[in-house]
Every structure is written in C-alpha cells, then in structure tokens.
Amino acid sequence: MNPRILIVEDQEDIASLISLNLKILNFEVDIIHDGQEGLSRGLQTPYDVIILDI
C-alpha cells in the first residue's frame, strides 16, 4: 500500500501542484482547502503525513 498524504492548502493551484508531484512518486494524496475540514479528516483517516498550509 502506498503512503497516504493529506494536503491542507487554501490555494488550489499550490495544492494541485504539490499533489501532482506526490502522485508521480506513487503517494496517495487527498486535498482539503479548509483548515477545520482538514482537522476533521486528519482525525478520521490515518495519514502517514499531513502537509499544512504552505
């Protein structure tokens, strides 16, 4: 199973660029654009890494 990463970033273009590069490296990536929703998702789903607003 590939490592899972959650990206919490309000700027969609930055989040998409980071996601694209991580997917090329075979990571499973989820993107959330809201901090509160990111917190909720991070508590509900096991992620290997969470990248917060860059």
21-36 pLDDT, tens digit each: 999 999 999 999 999 9
Whether the pLDDT of residue 4 is over 80: the answer is: yes
- pLDDT-based confidence at 1, cuts 50/70/90? confident
Whether the pLDDT of residue 54 is over 80: the answer is: no
| Third-level CATH fold of 4-51 | Rossmann fold (3.40.50)
pTM for the whole structure: 0.91
Where are the chain's structural domains? Answer: 4-51
How many Cβ atoms from other residues are within 10 Å of residue 7's Cβ? 23
Tell me the three state secondary structure of residue 52.
coil
